[in-house]
Amino acid sequence: MYHFKLTITNLKTTEIIAYKEKIDSTRLPQHIAIIMDGNGRWAKAQGKHRIFGHKNGVKAVREVTEGCAEIGVKYLTLYAFSTENWNRPKTEVSALMQLLFLTIGKEIKTLQKNNIRLNVIGHINDLPESNRKALQEVMEATKNNTRMTLTLALSYGSREEIAEAVRKMAADYKDGKISMQEITQETIGAHLYTHDMPDPELMIRTSGEHRISNFLLWQMAYTELYFTEKFWPEFERNDLFKAIYDFQHRERRFGMISEQLKEQETTND
C-alpha cells in the first residue's frame, strides 16, 4: 500500500515539471511537424462521438500554435487531413471539413494579431469550395506575416508529392530546361510543396502510434521523432515544451560520430 502511494506521488511530480523554463532558447528546432492523432479514441473513451474528439483537437491546435510562436519556433506544420482520410465515413469527412472552415474563419484575427502566416500543402483543389476560398483568403491576408509560418497539410500525401516533383522534373528535362546532372537532392527539394521552408528538425506524433503515415517522407530524412501516449485533444503547451526539451537532449549525428561533432562545436565557438 505504502509503495503504491509513493508511485502515485512520483508520477504527479513528473507531470508538473514546467518544461518551458528548461528549454534552451538558443537551440530551438526551427521547424516542428506534428501528426495529430487520437481524436477518435479520446472521444470514444468518454462515450462521445468521434467528431467531439476533432472539436477538442482544435484546442490543441491553438495550444501548439501559440506555444511555438511564444518561444520562437519559425515553422509549424500540422498533418490535418491525409489523402487517405477521404476514405473515412462521409459524415466524418464533412464534419471535419466544416470544422476546418469554422476554425479558419475564427482564427484569422489571432493569426494577424500574432503575426503568423498561414500556408497549406497538399491537394487544396480536392477540398470543398468554401474551404478552399476561406483558406486562400487567410493565406493572402497573412502572407506578409513574419513571426511564424503555420502550415496545414490538407489532402496531403508525401508519396504523391514526390511523384508530382518527379513528373515536373521529367517534363523540364524533356523540354530541355534541365539536364540529367541538375537532378540533385536540392532540385528535388525545390520541387516539393515545402520548397520554401527548412526540413523539420522535430516530428511529434500523439496517441502512441509509431508511424510516419506518408507525412513529409523526403523532408524527414534526419528529423528527430518524438512519440507520446497522449491523445491529441489532451496535448497541451507543456507537452510541446517537453518534446522540445527531449529534442535538445538528443545527439544529432547526421551519420558522423560523437567525437567529430564535438570537434565541430569547438571550431564553431
Nearer of residues 160 and 234 to ligand FPP, judged by Cβ: 234
* Sheet of strand 148-156, all strands in order from the earlier edge strand to the far edge: 116-121, 148-156, 75-82, 31-35, 202-205, 224-227
Nearer of residues 97 and 225 to ligand FPP, judged by Cβ: 97
Contact flag: residue 39 with ligand FPP (CB under 6 A): yes
Nearest alpha carbon to residue 198 among 149, 163, 239: 149
Nearer of residues 35 and 192 to ligand FPP, judged by Cβ: 35
Contact flag: residue 41 with ligand FPP (CB under 6 A): yes
Query: Minimum CB separation from ligand FPP for residue 244, in Å?
Result: 20
DSSP-derived 3-state class of residue 121: strand
Determine contact, residues 93/86, Cβ cutoff 8 Å: yes
Separation CA 82–CA 120 (nearest Å): 12
Separation CA 213–CA 215 (nearest Å): 6
Catalytic residue among 85, 145, 214, 238: 85
Query: Minimum CB separation from ligand FPP for residue 18, in Å?
Result: 25
Contact flag: residue 38 with ligand FPP (CB under 6 A): yes
- In single-letter form, the type of residue at position 148 comes to M
Contact flag: residue 165 with ligand FPP (CB under 6 A): no
Contact flag: residue 121 with ligand FPP (CB under 6 A): no
Contact flag: residue 54 with ligand FPP (CB under 6 A): yes
37 in catalytic set: yes
Nearer of residues 85 and 145 to ligand FPP, judged by Cβ: 85
Helices (H) and strands (E) in the chain, counts: 9, 6
DSSP-derived 3-state class of residue 77: strand
- Note the residues at the interface with ligand FPP (CB under 6 A): 36-41, 54, 57-58, 61, 78, 80, 85, 99-100, 103, 152, 207, 232
